[in-house]
Structure 1
Amino acid sequence: MSQQLHPAAPHHPPFFVPGADGADPMLVVMGILLIATVFWVGTLYWKLHSLPERMAHKSQKLQFEIVAVLGLISLFTHMHIFWVAGLLLAMIDLPDFGTPMRSIADSVERIADATPEAPALAPETEPAPAGYSDVRTPTKRGGHGHV
């Protein structure tokens, strides 16, 4: 049987039309494009998903760990509110309470570990100056005063 084209058919069909041998170049091109797009979207998704963790990486360790846990919870539960909470927490700079508390704890520990010193001796009493009397005498206002 001879391969003759229909008289209304173009003599040079476009590249995406399958040939007589069954090869379909358009299917191959679309398959490669689909696989590349899936990998690109997956990479974009992972970059976007790890955004709160990358933002919180420069912050305190506890804040970073909380953001990381919120990201994992959102990944496994598909509840995006956890991701949003992690993003908001990563954007907020929490005050550093740990350093002053650690300083206080170190100071208290040094005070507790300090060796007690010998008790201070009682100050010696000096004799009263001449003419000084401990007897109180009345003053003009009716109070008592020292002579």
Structure 2
Amino acid sequence: MSDQMHPAAPHHVPFFVPGADGTDNLMVVMGAFLLVTVLWVGTLYWKLHSLPERMAHRTHKMQFEIVGVLGLISLFTHMHIFWVAGLLLAMIDLPDFGTPIRSIADSVERIASVAPSAGATEVDAEAAQESEPAVQPSLRAGVHDHA
């Protein structure tokens, strides 16, 4: 065999043509590009998917847990309506009804001169005194003398 090239063969071969040893440079480049692109798109998807939860966390919303659960439901069921509901819920401010109502309840308990924690025990003690049968004072004294 001769080491001379055929006269019709090109003298410069492009990089994407596989060499005689079987290495395919274009396949290696495209494989690396595909891997980087898939990782980038996956990261973009996770960032977009967690957008409502990050919005609710950043603004310290009361409904943060609900938004997080809606995000997980949409992730596992692939129903985007849950993601949209979470996004809308993260964007609105729900009024805080619990704090004013608790303040009103505490004020009413102070007005009634009942301690908030002792309220139930005082009511139970009054109910126990009312439920005792009416006993004559002389009999009650006699019971205590024998004991």
Give the TM-score taking structure 2 as reference length: 0.69
How big is the shift at 1:109?
4.1
In structure 2, relative to structure 1, the CA distance for the partners of 1:5 and 1:79 (3 Å cut) is farther
How big is the shift at 1:26?
0.9
How big is the shift at 1:12?
1.0
In structure 2, relative to structure 1, the CA distance for the partners of 1:101 and 1:8 (3 Å cut) is farther
How big is the shift at 1:95?
1.3
Map of 1:60 onto structure 2: 61
Map of 2:103 onto structure 1: 103
Deviation per CA, 1:46-75: give whole Å up to 9, x if none: 0000000011112333x1011101000000
Structure 1 or 2: larger strand share? 1
- Equivalent AA in structure 1 for residue 88 of structure 2: L
Give the TM-score taking structure 1 as reference length: 0.69
Distance in 1 between the 2:9 and 2:110 partners?
Answer: 97
Question: Which runs of no fewer than 5 residues in structure 2 stay unpaired?
Answer: 119-147
Map of 1:31 onto structure 2: 31
Q: Any idea what SS the aligned residue of 2:15 has?
A: coil
Distance in 2 between the 1:38 and 1:60 partners?
Answer: 33
> Looking at CA atoms only, which structure, 1 or 2, has the larger radius of gyration?
1
Distance in 1 between the 2:12 and 2:105 partners?
Answer: 86
RMSD across aligned C-alpha pairs, in angstroms?
A: 2.1
1:128-147 aligned at under 5 Å gives the runs none
8 Å contact from structure 1 (residues 59, 93) kept in 2: no
- Equivalent AA in structure 1 for residue 115 of structure 2: D
Map of 1:86 onto structure 2: 86
Distance in 2 between the 1:85 and 1:94 partners?
Answer: 14
In structure 2, relative to structure 1, the CA distance for the partners of 1:9 and 1:59 (3 Å cut) is same
Distance in 2 between the 1:92 and 1:3 partners?
Answer: 78
Does 1 or 2 have the higher relative contact order (CA < 8 Å, sep 6+)?
2
Distance in 2 between the 1:60 and 1:23 partners?
Answer: 57
Structure 1 or 2: larger helix share? 2
Count of aligned residue pairs for this structure pair: 114
In structure 2, relative to structure 1, the CA distance for the partners of 1:83 and 1:10 (3 Å cut) is same
Of 104, 115, 119, the match for 1:113 = 115
Distance in 2 between the 1:41 and 1:76 partners?
Answer: 19
Distance in 2 between the 1:38 and 1:46 partners?
Answer: 12
